Structures are given as structure tokens and as C-alpha cells.
Structure 1
Amino acid sequence: MEVPKKPSSGISKWQCSSAKSKIVNNFNPICQAVQKLTLKGKFVITLNQKISIPGKFISVQIYSGTEVDPNTGKGWLSEKAYFKERRKNQKYQHDDNDDTQTKIKTYKIKLHVDAHFGTPRAFVIQNKHNKKFYLLSASIETCTNRIIHFDCNSWIYPIKKTKFDRLFFSNRCYVPSQTPRALLELRNDELDKLRGNGMGERKEWDRIYDYDYYNDLGDVDKGSEHFRPVLGGSRLYPYPRRVRTGRKNSTSGTSRSQATSFDIYVPSDEIFSPKKLKELKSNSIHAIVQLLPSKTESLPQQSSRSVQSFEEILNMLSRNRNQTIEGWIRDNLKKLVPNEDLKEITHAIKENHMHDPIPQNIYENEWAWNDDMEFGRQMLAGTHPIRIQCLMTFPPQNKFGVQSSIKQSTIEQMLEGWTLHQALEQGRIFMLDHHDYLMPYLNRINANGVCAYASRTLLFLRSDGMLKPLTIELSLPGSSLALEIHRIFLPSKQGTQAALWQLAKAHVLANDAFYHLLVSHWLYTHAVVEPFILATKRRLSVMHPIHKLLNPHFKDIMHINALTRHILINSGGILEKILFPGETCMQITCDLYKEWKFTEQGLPADLLKRGMAVENLDENNPNGIQLLMLDYPYAIDGLEIWAAIKSWVNDFCSIFYKDNEAIEADVELQAWWSEIRSIGHGDNHNETRWYQMTTLSNLVEALTTLIWIASARHAVINHQKHSHNDNSPTLCRKFIPVEGTVEFGEFLKDPDKFFTKMLPDRFETSLGLALVDLLSKNTYDEMYLLKCQPSHGWIDNEIVQNRFAEFKEELKEIQIRILQRNKDPKLKNRRVPAKIDHNIVYPKMPSSGSRRWNHGKRSVL
């Protein structure tokens, strides 16, 4: 029993525990009315240095989580207490690239509550100032010195805008059936507010999560060429849902109007911090500035579209002098960025001396990308190692049964003594397939000034674990869907065939760049995750343990997705400019979404689907599969991470769910899973594509898959593009010439010149490189898997905290093993010709610059 502090003047000022209060009350009847307990609070906020909010404008009231007020049915609510500033603890975060600072300020409160108040478990905060601020965290100290933690990470807007006080719950988790009565109504009311009513245009300060179609990618008010179909809600254009903004329709009434600035709506809890948004803009400007021609360079005439040499591309990648936006660049940029941002770019160019080094892969060996073995290696260990598949039958064929024209005799002589039958049986023939999904669109694509093929690339697994390219098949549509025009290209070291082979590889890389950026990265990572975020915020209380587990992995995704809709995938946006499908980009992703199954997104299931592994149900094998390749870094390193995540998720869930019946009885969990399938992914709701949320094992598999998509898988496909993918054209301007034609004569006269003319023009190249540079940058508040919970007190459960500490230790051990494998000279796929360490699948970013694991900043895509 705690001894109360000695009163300074009279019994009414005593501070004591509730147990002591009961003792005093037995002796003094009037103590019931005057006995008070003291609660102390500490609130940490961030502000721009130029903003100051006096504490008298910010008030807090605390809710009991254990004792119910019979008049309201909710926990007892304290009187208001106002912020008092702790000036001596004020800190500043400096931005090295800017003169501004972000203030981190700590405020205190002290208030008194009745002795029967119970344990604080929630508070409401009210901002009567006219400026918003960012609440990082809060803690409340009881009179028994117990600290109640609150991870807030939320904007607090003026009450005159929101009309509601902002409610926060402590870090204690409860499944719905175990929620204390004092918090139950608060829990349900908060979820109702977050769901909204589906009406009206959303404002910056709203915290409303509801669904909408992708109906804002086109804007016919800008001209008929900006018409784009609505994605989602139809059999022709199925798509995941996005957050509803409620913006008004275009004047034609066919779609929502496009946003006109970066202030596109996302719920206020999803908005970047001011420092992060400023850093993102700075990175964007920096990326563009580095890749613009200097005024001393001779600029191409309007009639000349192509870059002139490989050296010119290298010059774009490394420049250290003052630059200015020339007229032709400015005209192109005006179509892509708002005027106010163009002014900022212009100012930066005039005032700053910026330097961006040559990517390391080029710096070490500028022709490394031209090597056939590097071409194959990148399919296993580059930035897009998730498309390659093992070939099961030969020859490949399309969905109509039309077979490839690749002949057995053509490739068998390159199999190093194996017969084709033996190589297929032993899983040594692999394919990079960009054929079926492109074929229906090629006539339309090629009518818009680009020259695209559908491609199949076959490779052979050598004894040293590396992939040797065998052949490239490039196809065009024939007179009917069942007929195709095929051309076969073989590797060669010199002469005309070698030059043709280089052209064929460029077309394959353009195919892969499109699939990488818009399918693997955008659609299968960002777009498919947004409905999970919406359902989590709408159906799982912040007190729900699954909400607590998932929330760090959702950081910033919705804001990034909103900017993506506004800048990258909209009509006339950057990706339509630099990727060969142009205006058909998003329609192709609709077709590929039809193939998407959530049950195939986990790493083991994905490897099985692509034939890169076979089932192995040995009890000592945690993943249930066996890889066909001993040197496939993405799979080998990734499976260790997958197993660690799954073990952690299983232990976490087992703490809150003791059996399968508890899973089915969780009303919030069931509503969450149902809404994800029936609304968020309503165009892809077939039950065979989803786990049934009836068992603990299915819950663990679903959560592990979701965390994998949002963390490790995303890190792989968005890792160090600038240093590794400098050799991937995003479109081609010429077909490969056919012997006997005038173009073939031009090609024979100067193959290198023909190749450079086939590449994107200067502006497209600059824009593509700027985008790659931007996507590869980290921001100050990156979230890593090793630090995917914001603080030690992220959950008020000691068992969970201890298990999470074990999980972090597992990741550190995996990290050590990855570094050891990177040093193994026998594992040749882990090092490029430039001798860059393979660190794509890496749980923590070391000082050398490895990519993050979780979804902290997502760049713009």
C-alpha cells in the first residue's frame, strides 16, 4: 500500500492511491466529496519554427478505462487541463538542406480526479488555436507513478474546422469482446466517425475513410485526349478501391476532376509530416535539376528526338555546374507539374550547385550493362527479380494455344551438353515472359509513335548458378488473335547478329521496365494494399491488436498513392510519358489485376507458382518448399525473412486468440476481412482467391502475406534503381529492321547510331532518370522492419514486447548471414560486374545506403 504524501494545508489537498482513499473515507465521511488524485501528463508535439501555439489554447480531458460514469455509460471524464510549456526541454530538428527547423516541444498538464476515477485509458484533446500541430506522443502518470503510454502520430486541427475533439486511446490492446465497459462506447463511436457517411467533398482536416473508384485519372475538361475510363466497379476495368476524396465531377460529368496541386485529400492521420513533404519536394527538384541539360550544351532541334550517343546519357547522369531550364525542357515540364512547383524548380536551378554522382554500376564499368551474363543476373538479383519463372513445357504457347516459334534445335546446342528434355526435367530452363498481357494492346500502342513488341526470353541455368541467355522471341499481332508474327534473336559476340541481339535486349528491358514500375510496384504493391488500410481504419479500432500490428507497415502509403494518382499515373502524367504503353498503361494493369490472387502473394506461394521451388513438407523446413536454385538471392534471403515474420505474427496472434473459435467470434476482425474482399477488392472477391478467416493459421498466413507485400517485397522492387537499373530503356522508337529493307541498310551502315535513335528522346530519358533517382532516395523518417514499432511502449503488453525483441534479434542474425553470403565467391549472382554488394533483401539500412524494409517513405510511387 502506498503512503500518501503529507498534505500541505487540509485534507482536501491530499494526493493518495484509491486504496488509501477508501481507508480515509471510513474515518471521515466528508472525504468522499473532497478526496482527489493527481494525474500528470506529458505531450510531445512538432511545429514549424515560425509557428508558436500558446498552451492556453490546447486543452485535454482524460477518460477512465476502468470505471464507468453511470450518467454517460462511458468512463469517467476529467475536467479540462491546459498545456503548460516545458521551455527547457524544447528541441530542434535541423534540415541540412534548408535553413528552416522543426521544433519538438513538450507540454505538461496536471489535473485532479476523484478517488474512484480508475486507470486512465483515453483522452480527448482540443485545439482552439487557428494553426494545426502534430502530436507525436503522450503519456499520463498516475499518482502511483504508473506511466500510461499513447503513440499518437497525428495532426491536431483547430476545433473550429473539425467540430470534434480528437480522441486517443492508450497503447493497451483489446479484442472487442474483452473491451472494458468504460471504453466500449468510445470505441464504437470512434469507428463510426472514421467511416463517415459517404457524402460531401473531403477537407484537409477530415479523418474519414471510405471507398471510391479510380475516377480521377482523366479530365476531359483539358481535352478529349485526356479521357480515361473509370477503373473499378466494372467487368471490363476491375481495380482495387482507393480512398474517396469527394471532389466534384469534371464539367462533362464523366469523372472526377484531377487535383490541381499537391494538396490532394487523404485522411489527416495519413498526411506526411511537414518536414517529410518538404524533403519529398526537395528530392523531386534535385532529381529533375541533375538531369536537365546545361545551357552550354548544344540542344537538339525540335525535329530531332533522339539522344546522340551513350556518352550523352552518361553526361546526363553526372553534372556539377550551374544549369538553366531551356525552352524545350520548360515546355515539357509545364505539362507535368503545377506552375508554382515549376517556379520552385527554376529557382533551385539558378541558386544551387547540385551534383549527383554517376551510378556506381556505370562508374565502375560503364559497359557492364551490355554483358549477356549481367542481363541474366539482373533477372535473379536485380531490382525486379520477381517475374522470372521456370519453364515447364516447350515450346511456350499463348492462351489461345498458339505456340512459340522457338525451335528445339535452335537452343539445344547452347545447353552445355544437356538435352532439352533433360534440362526441362531438371528445372534448368527459365523464361522472362512479357507476352500474353501485351499482345492485345500492341496495335494501339504502336499507333502512338512508339515501337513495342511482346517478348519471351529463355535462359539456361549453368553449373555456376548463373543464367545464360538462350534466345529472345519478339512478337507482333497477326491478322487475328490466334495468329502472331514472331522474330527470333540469338546471342552473338560480334557482327550483325550481335548488333541485332543488342536491339532485342533493349526491347525486352523496355517490357520489363513497364511491368516493374506499373505492375509489380504500383499495382501489386501500392494499389492492392490501399483497401487493406481503409478497412483497417474503418473496422479495426486502434485498440485492436491486429490494428496495432499492421499500422506501422501502412505508414505514408495513402499519401504516396494520392500523389501517384496526381503526378504519375494520371492522363499526361510522367508514366504515360516515359513508358511505352502510354495512355493504355492503366488499362493493361486492369487486365493483370484480374489475375491477382491474395493467396499467391506470400513468398513461398509465389515461388511455387513461378516454378522456382517445389513443395517440401519436411518438418524441419519452416516454409514448406525447396528452391530449385542455390543462388537466387531474393528467394534465399527472402525466405529467411518470411519465416521470421511468420513466426513473429503467429506468436503475436496466439497471445490474443486462444483458439479458432476466438477468431470467428471477433466481430471487428470478421467485418474487416469481409469488407476487404467485398468492397475494397470487390472486383476480385472470388473466395478461391482469399483465405477464409476461420482459423488462427489462416489469420497468420493472411497477416504475414500483407506484411510481406508492404515491407520486404516492396523494398526489393524499389531498391537502388539509380545504381542498378541504369540500363533499362522505358520505350523504343524503332522496330528491329528486317533484312532487305531501307531501314536495315541504315542499321548496317552504323549500328550504334541506329541503336541510339531507337532509345527514348532526351526529355523522356531525363525524366525517366529523374524518376529513378527520386524513387531511390530515403527520407529522414524511413521505417525499417527492425524498427517497425515507434517506441518501447508501442503496446501495453510485456509478453508482446519481449517477443518483438526476440524478433528483432532474429532479423539481426539473418542480416549477418546475408552479409556472409554476399562475401561467398561461389555465389556469383550477388555481385554485379561493378562489384556492388547485393543488399536488396536486407532488414536494416546500414550507413552505406541499403534500402528500407517497411513502408516509411514510399517516394512518389
Structure 2
Amino acid sequence: MEASDELMGVDVNKEAKMNGVVVLVKKSVLLDVNDFQAALSDGVHELVGKRVSFQLISAVNADPENAMRGRLSQAVYLEKWIKTGTSAVVVGESVFKLTFEWDADVGVPGAFIIKNFHNSEFYLKSLTLNEVPGTGKIHFVCDSWIYPAHRYKYNRIFFANQSYLPCHTPEPLCKYREEELVNLRGNGSGELKEWDRVYDYALYNDLGDPDKGTDHARPVLGGSTKFPYPRRGRTSRPPTKKDPESESRLPLLSLDIYVPSDERLSHRKMSDILAYLLKSIVQVLDPELKALGDKTLNEFDTFQDVLNIYEGGLQLPSGLLDKIKDIVPYEILKELLHLDGEKLYGYPMPQVINENKFAWRTDEEFGREMLAGVNPVSISLLKEFPPCSKLDPKAYGNQRSSITKEDIEKNLNGLTVNEALRKNKIFILDHHDTLMPYLNRINSTKTKTYASRTLLLLKSDGTLTPLAIELSLSHPKGEGYGAINKVFTPAAHGVEGSVWQLAKAYAIVNDSGVHQLISHWLNTHLVIEPFVIATNRQLSVLHPIHKLLHPHFRDTMNINAISRLVLINAGGTLENTVFLTKFSMEFTSVIYKEWVFTEQALPEDLIKRGIAVPDSSQPHGLHLLIEDYPYAVDGLEIWSAIKTWVHEYCSFYYPKDDLIRGDVELQSWWAELRDVGHGDKKDEPWWPKMQTLVELTETCTTIIWIASALHAAVNFGQYPYGGYLPNRPTISRSFMPERGTPEYAELESNPDGAFLKTITSQFQSLLNISIIEILSKHSPDELYLGQRDTPDWTSDTVILAAFARFGEKLVKIENRIEEMNNNKLLKNRVGPVNVPYTLLYPNTSNHTHVGGLTGLTARGVPNSTGI
């Protein structure tokens, strides 16, 4: 018997009453004078009364005169708006009580209509109906901004927290379900305003600003074979004057970039983003200020100069602070830039140097961070020697590696190269093929860098140690003549040791750029946004898959929009702190050509990189070739927990594959995701067909993995490891010194000074630290994997029980991680820097439903890609 049939048999007293509780948050009056005026006007209007109305919609009785939509109850209004709730100082929840008369013609409600006749919006969190005759409690999870009614051309409708497949939806709710999706899709045209709820697609054509000149122009990404790209949310701004294909940009500090109203960041998180924007103002608002910084805030002379950023005592140059204060008031600067007078009084101490200031320089830590650092997703097994290239030899000539057996066999612990390959002992961090096509253009800027290959040996104690680093440049006669390679091998003392430290720095510069642009931006933020859009356009909030995935999309569209505004735009912060400079976003488009959705699943990724092989005898069906690989070990535990939860969830609603094939919303969602959201890859054969429970489970598991655990692994370690720039330099400004040159002589006489002069400058360091400090923080209102913002998120008790088991499994994973981090035999868990690997520590056990540790904790897996 379907749910709608069960509801039809209710026998109740016609004079019964239903008590309701409404929870909402009134519009904040702290940030906008107009908001205060609107709130004052709302108070005056409330004296008249009847400013917020609720009408229940029947889930059991249809109205033949209204196209068989559910019958409507009489309107009930909120009372005591002025007396109920919060002051203008503290933003918090207001709780109102409602009483509905039982109407047999309406019967059991399944939805409600709300109308706001105030002049300002409010945030509706929930409505709970208690003592519904014959049913008991009905809960409506809303979590939506309700703008004044005149802003909408349709009724705002919310459904009860019961999930239905389209074919199982009670008939009185079907039209409402269909119409709500139509409203969310919009009509594809017109200017979008903040109160609009339209989810639509656009190309990445708003990164450049051609009206400012050719230096600020950037190619349109997406919609072409040359520059394929996922789609972003449509913002509907007019085109630029010089290029009709490019969308005009907003002023730098404007946060009025359109996203659907329910995708906006919370006030708390937005304040953090505002702090970042004000920090970055030093670099982007005033060219004269930037020029001043280039002249005076340029070099660190010693490592102690770098440490002064955290320990206090870095003196700002005379005149710089006055110039900054012309733009931003000193009181704001004092908080945001960590100022004490004209000194930087100390950024938070990065974990990588918290206990030992120089352990980061060891070869062991260099190798360990490829397994347990901020970019543990790039290392792979070396399958042939010397390393080969997949670049077209007609275009790029001979790109084969110049590393010889003699270079590395001296450090293979008695093995020959062939023996080491056969025993799966040699691994590679390969940034050669991806960067070589860009080297000439990159090196035409102030950046001076190489394409790199790094070979490492897996030792008997489970750690990795570098064998050789190859640094490559394009042939001076042209790219078609191949590469010019230089090979460097480990050395501990003298100028050779200094050269080796520089070689590692160049390799890390490559890895830092690939991490930020590919591992972080492309493979989490960028690829997940089309899923957010398609889910809201094609899956009703009543749909179980919408309810499953929705928490994993929180804040993604808004944070991506802000990134386009100030981070990844032409001349923005990223172009000034990553070695690929103005080619950064174009580079991500080229790499996206090779992106395969199914390979984003952790097991598939590990197999592709040669880190794991299928093994049915193992708990996760894989045998890791590097057994002490913290990212993979913890990741597989979390992947397995997510997949078990998703399977239990999906199999409850889809006991037969026929239901998947016949689900019109699900099939429309998947078709639009492939054909539009990732439309430049719509013809790829690897897309799942979405015909079976296995395909649905694997797909949803992969989506959740990308948005939660993968993002956590490559994001929240940025400040702990990269907040100390010598450990993770992002730019190199000169080439390796050649023997007989003044630069080589300086390397001999002052190795630390030469090292610091080569990597990221002082000014760039301060800018970079400011960015990643914000990116690495957990928000106070963070929701972690295994948490929901309300225990009443669904009325299906079977699903709630499965979700509880998911949370229990995550707690066991937390305990297991703690045990492994305390195991001295697992040397990659902590390493020479004594930083335990907790980036995939779920953080579920701290709070059952909401929140957890906040700040720079380097632990916790948030539900979504929200920062």
C-alpha cells in the first residue's frame, strides 16, 4: 500500500486543532542601513497584523476545480512579530506558535504555502505540526529565504519531510512538485535578482575583463574543444563592451554576485570571506601600493625573517601602513593583518614548524608529504624506466627522461633498477607532461620554473625517500626540439646539499601549483557545481536522491562565485601567488580534457595511479602497494562507510532496478548532468548509464566522496603545511644557479639567503598566507560527514537507523585513526615534523547533529565543498 492510500483512511474529530511551531531567523540589521529601514517598516506593518500567512496543502484530497491539486486550508497568520525573537544586536532564531483548525476537506497535509507581506526577507528554518489527527507529528524542513510576496510570480511551497519517488507521489501533491521544479529552472533569460531561486548554467566567461585591456582578457572556458570546462551557475550580467562573449564583472569588493538565494553563505561564514577580501585588498586595489610592496617588502634574508611572521616582530616598511590605511581603516587592518603598531604581531604558527623549525627540510618529510600532506593524490607507481612521455613527439620532440640507472642505483639499497621495478619499489611524482607545453609562456613572465619528475624509493620501513629530481626546460631552438633536462640526486652537505634543497623546492613549486589548480579547484570545486545545479533543477526536494545529496552541496555555488570574483579572475590573487600566473585557469581547462568521472572514485583512482591492485581478500577489495599511505588508508575506510550508507539508502527506495529506469526525475537529472552540466564531455563512453542500483550507488558515493572527503584531504592542510612558505613554495623566481656564476657563489656563501631569494617573495608570502589561512579554517557552523542540521531531516525511520549506523562507523574510523597515529611503526602517520595525519578524521563524534571543532584544526571532514 502506498503512503497516499494509507492517509486516505483517517477518521478524526472535525473540531480537532493542529498546533504548529514555526522557527525562523529575521533579517539581520547589522550590515545594511536599508535592512534596518525595512525591519522598522515591518514592525509598523505588524501592528496591523496578518503579515506572514500559512496555508496547508492536502496530501490526500485533490481539488477537481484546481487541476487535481491538493485542497488548501484557510490561511493562518503569525502573531506577535515584534515581541517574538531576537534583538537587532544578536541574530538568532525566533519561534512562533500557530493553530490550524482541522479541515476534513484538507485532511492530512503534505505541503504548505507561505506568503511574506513584510518589506524584508526572513530565513524560514522549519514548521512542525503537532497532533495531526490520525498521523501525529509532521515536520517540514525549509531552510530557505522568504522574500516579500510581490517578489515572486508563484507561491512559495514547502513539502513535508517524507520522500517520494515521482511515481509514488500522492496525486494531490504531483502538480505542486512539478511546478516547483519549473520555477527553479527559470526560463533561461532575463536578469537574475537576489530573491530569484533560479538554477541555470553558463560558461566560465567572467574571469577576464577585456574592457581593461588585453592584459586582463582571458579565454572563455567551456563550450569548445579547445577549452572544455564544466558549467557554472548563470549570473545574467551584461556582456563586456569589447567582447560580447565575455560577461561583465562586478566591482572587486561587491558581494552582490548572483547565486540562488538559498545557496548564499551564512552571515558567519560570509564575515570570514569578507576578512579575506579585505586582506587581499593590499595586493589588488592599488597598483601604486603593490609597486611599493615590490620595492620594500620583497625578500626574506634569513629563515628567522620568515619565522617573524608567526613569532612577531616583522617591521612593515615606512609609509606602507599609511598607504594601506588610506584604503582600509586601521582598526580593521589591525584585526585582519595581525598588526601591532607597524609590526605584524604573528600569524598562527603552521603545524609543520610548530615543534621543529627545520624538520621540513629532510628528505623523509619531503617524501612523507606526498602520502600525508596537502596533495597526497599525485604520486604514482613507476612502471617503466626511464620515465616516458605521452606528449606528441611531432610537436614536442624527445621528452624522454634523462635519469640513468647510475643516477639512482647507488641509493636503491642493493637493488638494481629492474629488481626495484619488479618489486614495485619506485614511485614518481610526475609534473613533466602537464607543464612542459606551458613552460615557455610561464617563463616569459617573472616566474622562472621547470617541469619536473621526482623518483622515490619505497624503503623497508614504509617511508619514501627521493632518488632523483629531473628539472626540464624547452629546447632553446623551440619546443619541437625536445627538452633540456638536468638531473639532481640527494646530497646532504656543502654546495651540493644546497643545490639539492633547491631542486626539491622547484619540484614542490610544481606540486603546489598542480595541487591548488587541479587537486583542489578542478577536481572538487569546479566539477561538483554542475551536480548542484542539475540536482536542484531536476530532482524535487521530495526526491530521495535530492535529500541524500543536498547536504553535500552546501555553500559550493556561493564560494565558487566569490572565487571567480577575487581569487581565480584575471589579475586576481591566485594569478599572483601560483607560478602559472595568467595561464592558470587555461591550464585547468587543458587538464579537464582528461577528467573521467568514474576515476574520481577513490578505489579507481588508486588503481589508476598504480598505488593499489584489486585483491578480494582485503577488506576494501584492494591491496595497497604502499601500506602506510595515510590518505589512502583513511580514505578507503571513509569511502567504504559512505558506500555502505548510500547502498542502504538507495536500496530502500529502489528495491528493483526497474524503478531506477522508470524514474523520470532521476533520468532527467542524469541526462542534464552529462549533456549540459559537463556538456563538453557528454559523448564520453565512461558515463554510467544510470540503469541499475549498482550504478546509482557508485555514482552517489563518488559525488559525496568528491564533495566531502576528497575536498577535506586537499584543502584543510593548506595552512598547516603551506602556511610556512619555504615548505610549500608556490613560485620560483630564478633558475638553478650554474657553476661559475655569481648566483652559484652566493649559494655557496649564503645558502639560506639564496634559497629564500629563489622562492616566493616576502610580499607574495604574506598574501598567500592570508589566503590559505581563510581556506584552511573550519566555520563555526560547519556540518561534518555523518551530521545533519536537524534530526527530523526525514520521516523514514529505516533511513534514520541506517544514518545512525553510518555515524557509528565514522566514530570507529576516528578511533582507528587515533590508534594509527600513536603507532610508532607507522612512520608516515606523523613524520619528522610530528604532525599527525588527521585531515580525514571525520569529526563526527564531537557533535551528533551540528558543528564540531572550528578554526585551523587540520581535522574534520565537512559534508560539502564549502570553502
Q: Secondary structure at the match of 2:368?
A: helix
Report the equivalent of 2:502. 503
* Deviation string, structure 1 residues 333-358 (Cα, Å, up to 9, x no partner): 99xxxx67999547866998975332
* Deviation string, structure 1 residues 777-796 (Cα, Å, up to 9, x no partner): 11111110121x22221111
344-353 vs 626-635, which deviates more? 344-353
CA distance in 2, matches of 1:154, 1:226: 37
Report the equivalent of 2:26. 47
Q: Which amino acid aligns with 2:435?
A: L
Percent identity between the two aligned chains: 43
Report the equivalent of 1:394. 385
Report the equivalent of 1:62. 56
CA distance in 1, matches of 2:213, 2:467: 47
**1:26-425 map, 5 Å:** 35-47=14-26, 50=29, 54=46, 56-72=50-66, 73-85=68-80, 90=85, 100-141=89-130, 142-144=132-134, 146-252=136-242, 253-260=244-251, 261-282=254-275, 302=295, 305-319=298-312, 344-345=332-333, 356-399=347-390, 400=393, 402-425=399-422
Q: Which amino acid aligns with 1:123?
A: F
Given that 2:276 and 2:770 are in contact with CA atoms closer than 8 Å, whether structure 1 keeps it comes out as no
Q: Which amino acid aligns with 2:643?
A: K
Report the equivalent of 2:32. none
Query: Quick check: 1:527 aligned with 2:521?
Result: no
Query: Quick check: 1:660 aligned with 2:653?
Result: no
CA RMSD, Structure 1 to Structure 2 (Å): 2.7
Q: Secondary structure at the match of 1:138?
A: strand
Q: Secondary structure at the match of 2:457?
A: strand
Q: Which amino acid aligns with 2:257?
A: I
Report the equivalent of 1:777. 777
TM-score calculated relative to the size of structure 2: 0.89
CA distance in 2, matches of 1:404, 1:749: 32
In structure 2, stretches of 5+ residues that fail to align are: 1-8, 30-35, 284-291, 847-852
CA distance in 2, matches of 1:102, 1:435: 52
Given that 2:443 and 2:449 are in contact with CA atoms closer than 8 Å, whether structure 1 keeps it comes out as yes
The Cα of 1:496 is off from its aligned counterpart by 1.4
596-605 vs 161-170, which deviates more? 161-170
Q: 1:668 to 1:367 in 2, by over 3 A?
A: same
CA distance in 1, matches of 2:387, 2:608: 16
The Cα of 1:49 is off from its aligned counterpart by 6.0
Given that 2:21 and 2:95 are in contact with CA atoms closer than 8 Å, whether structure 1 keeps it comes out as yes
Q: 1:342 to 1:421 in 2, by over 3 A?
A: farther
The Cα of 1:89 is off from its aligned counterpart by 7.8
Q: 1:210 to 1:372 in 2, by over 3 A?
A: same
The Cα of 1:157 is off from its aligned counterpart by 1.1
In structure 1, stretches of 5+ residues that fail to align are: 1-16, 22-34, 93-98, 291-298
**1:524-673 map, 5 Å:** 524-618=523-617, 621-673=618-670
Given that 2:707 and 2:865 are in contact with CA atoms closer than 8 Å, whether structure 1 keeps it comes out as no
Report the equivalent of 1:431. 428
Given that 1:379 and 1:385 are in contact with CA atoms closer than 8 Å, whether structure 2 keeps it comes out as yes
Report the equivalent of 1:737. 737
Report the equivalent of 1:488. 487
The Cα of 1:134 is off from its aligned counterpart by 1.0
Report the equivalent of 2:753. 753
Given that 1:217 and 1:569 are in contact with CA atoms closer than 8 Å, whether structure 2 keeps it comes out as yes
Q: 1:89 to 1:248 in 2, by over 3 A?
A: closer
Q: Which amino acid aligns with 2:526?
A: A
Query: Quick check: 1:699 aligned with 2:720?
Result: no
Report the equivalent of 1:854. 862
169-178 vs 744-753, which deviates more? 744-753
Query: Quick check: 1:831 aligned with 2:836?
Result: no
TM-score calculated relative to the size of structure 1: 0.89
CA distance in 1, matches of 2:862, 2:460: 35
Q: Secondary structure at the match of 1:817?
A: helix
Q: Secondary structure at the match of 2:92?
A: strand
Query: Quick check: 1:449 aligned with 2:446?
Result: yes
Q: 1:190 to 1:320 in 2, by over 3 A?
A: farther
Report the equivalent of 2:286. none
Q: Secondary structure at the match of 1:639?
A: helix
CA distance in 2, matches of 1:145, 1:175: 21
Q: Secondary structure at the match of 1:747?
A: helix
745-754 vs 58-67, which deviates more? 745-754
The Cα of 1:121 is off from its aligned counterpart by 1.0
CA distance in 2, matches of 1:398, 1:588: 18
Q: Secondary structure at the match of 2:786?
A: helix
Q: Which amino acid aligns with 2:444?
A: A
Q: Which amino acid aligns with 2:777?
A: K
Given that 2:470 and 2:485 are in contact with CA atoms closer than 8 Å, whether structure 1 keeps it comes out as yes
Given that 1:818 and 1:842 are in contact with CA atoms closer than 8 Å, whether structure 2 keeps it comes out as yes
Q: 1:83 to 1:803 in 2, by over 3 A?
A: same
CA distance in 2, matches of 1:840, 1:304: 33
Report the equivalent of 1:9. none
CA distance in 1, matches of 2:778, 2:574: 21
CA distance in 2, matches of 1:344, 1:76: 55
* Deviation string, structure 1 residues 389-426 (Cα, Å, up to 9, x no partner): 01111111111463200001110110112221111111
Given that 1:48 and 1:101 are in contact with CA atoms closer than 8 Å, whether structure 2 keeps it comes out as no
* Deviation string, structure 1 residues 6-52 (Cα, Å, up to 9, x no partner): xxxxxxxxxxx95245xxxxxxxxxxxxx444232211112356465
Given that 1:324 and 1:349 are in contact with CA atoms closer than 8 Å, whether structure 2 keeps it comes out as no
Given that 2:708 and 2:865 are in contact with CA atoms closer than 8 Å, whether structure 1 keeps it comes out as no
The Cα of 1:843 is off from its aligned counterpart by 1.0
* Deviation string, structure 1 residues 511-533 (Cα, Å, up to 9, x no partner): 11111111111111000000011
Given that 1:783 and 1:852 are in contact with CA atoms closer than 8 Å, whether structure 2 keeps it comes out as no
Q: 1:818 to 1:749 in 2, by over 3 A?
A: closer
Q: 1:326 to 1:40 in 2, by over 3 A?
A: farther
CA distance in 1, matches of 2:179, 2:331: 45
Given that 1:622 and 1:643 are in contact with CA atoms closer than 8 Å, whether structure 2 keeps it comes out as no
Q: Secondary structure at the match of 1:552?
A: helix
CA distance in 1, matches of 2:63, 2:789: 33
Q: Which amino acid aligns with 2:513?
A: F
Q: 1:471 to 1:658 in 2, by over 3 A?
A: same
Q: Which amino acid aligns with 2:710?
A: R
Q: Secondary structure at the match of 1:71?
A: helix
CA distance in 2, matches of 1:650, 1:578: 42
Q: Secondary structure at the match of 1:84?
A: coil
Number of aligned residue pairs: give it.
Answer: 808
* Deviation string, structure 1 residues 719-754 (Cα, Å, up to 9, x no partner): 232222321111011100222344333433433222
Given that 2:454 and 2:468 are in contact with CA atoms closer than 8 Å, whether structure 1 keeps it comes out as yes
The Cα of 1:559 is off from its aligned counterpart by 0.4
